[in-house]
Amino acid sequence: MQYGSFPTTRLRRLRRHDWSRRLVSESRLSAADLIWPIFVCEGSKRREPIGSMPGVQRLSIDLLEAAVAEAVELGIPAIALFPATPNDLKTPGAEEAWNSDNLVCRAIREVKHRLGEAVGVLADVALDPYSSHGQDGLVVDGYVANDETLDALCKQAIVQAEAGCDVIAPSDMMDGRVGRIRTALDAEGFTQVAIMAYAAKYASAYYGPFRDAVGSAGSLGKGDKKSYQMDPANGDEALREVALDLAEGADMVMVKPGQPYLDIVCRVKQAFGAPTFAYQVSGEYAQIAAAAERGWLDRDAVMLESLMAFKRAGADGVLTYFAVEAARKLRDAGLS
């Protein structure tokens, strides 16, 4: 005769009810965890669909207020602005990057003028949207030159800060750029402008749709960024990169891409305990969106599951093109 029940430990007990699953959930996802990347373009009342990113559009500056206001209402705390710079403004020296009246600076001013402190604004510091060769830095004798690029990045960071940018996000992966940018910002009185460093940014094949969106794919051509972005094979190196950026003054760090590098997100958070973000990049978005269009995946379920995975790995927040869509779903579920 068997007495009692076997097994005595039944992990399924707490999975039985919705209330108990919520009660013991180890990770939480809310709209406050999301940063919404927005592509901006020249013109008026323009919405330009991006073919490789179904559901994502470039917006002209006059349409930003309404779009960002909805994000704020949904509880999204910050946006990241990316310019689709006209080709006729792109040069080998990327001088448009530090034009104080360039597309992204005008977009920053508009958002901050209209919405003020209701939303944080991030802007990338890198030269690829402005260079005719599509590289993130200045090219000297066929090589992306590190130290010469730093001066350009500092000038770019200053005009963005002057426009009202809250967070400067160096995405170029030049050595020493965080320290140089921090020094330049402080010297100009922008001591309260934060830096979110793309600290572990990999030379990934997942960036293709983004390059379509900002118009740098044609400029880069068959070139690559392997001489400065990280080798996807490396993990320990990511910790060295993060350590350097924090030592140079980064307030927050980012891992990019996101889901293929969740191990790096986890290691960074555990090693440093610093505010750690991940970028669910364009290729990750496109995979989900395209599969959902074909009926192969449940778009909403996979979207939310993928974002929860970032939180489980230790990310404090996620840059994602799903931000507004996800925030709506979380609100409707009473989880925002």
Q: Hey, which residues are catalytic here?
A: 201, 256
Q: Please tell me the distance from the alpha carbon of residue 187 to that of residue 320, in angstroms, as a whole number.
A: 33
The half-sphere exposure of 104 on its side-chain side, counting CA atoms within 13 A, is 33
Q: Please tell me the distance from the alpha carbon of residue 55 to that of residue 114, in angstroms, as a whole number.
A: 25
3-state helix, strand, coil in the chain (%, to 5): 45, 20, 35
- Compute the CA torsion angle 289, 261, 256, 141 (nearest 10 deg): -120
26 is known to lie in a ligand binding site: no
Helix (H, G, I), strand (E, B) or coil at 336: coil
Output the six-digit token pair for 316: 């404090």
Tell me how crowded residue 117 is: count the other CB atoms within 10 A of its CB.
7
Q: Do 93 and 48 meet the contact criterion of CB atoms below 8 Å apart?
A: no
Q: Please tell me the distance from the alpha carbon of residue 215 to that of residue 197, in angstroms, as a whole number.
A: 23
The secondary element (H helix, E strand) that includes residue 214 is helix 208-214
**Residue 285's closest CA among 121, 75, 113, 56?**
56
**DSSP codes joined into one string, 67-97:** HHHHHHHTT--EEEEEE---GGG-BTT-GGG
Q: Which residue has the tokens 């990347």?
A: 37
**DSSP codes joined into one string, 235-282:** SHHHHHHHHHHHHTT-SEEEEES-GGGHHHHHHHHHHH-S-EEEEE-H
Helix (H, G, I), strand (E, B) or coil at 231: coil
Long-range contacts of 289-295 (CB under 8 A, 24+ apart): 289/53, 289/54, 289/55, 290/54, 293/54
* Binding region for Mg(2+): 241
* Binding region: 241
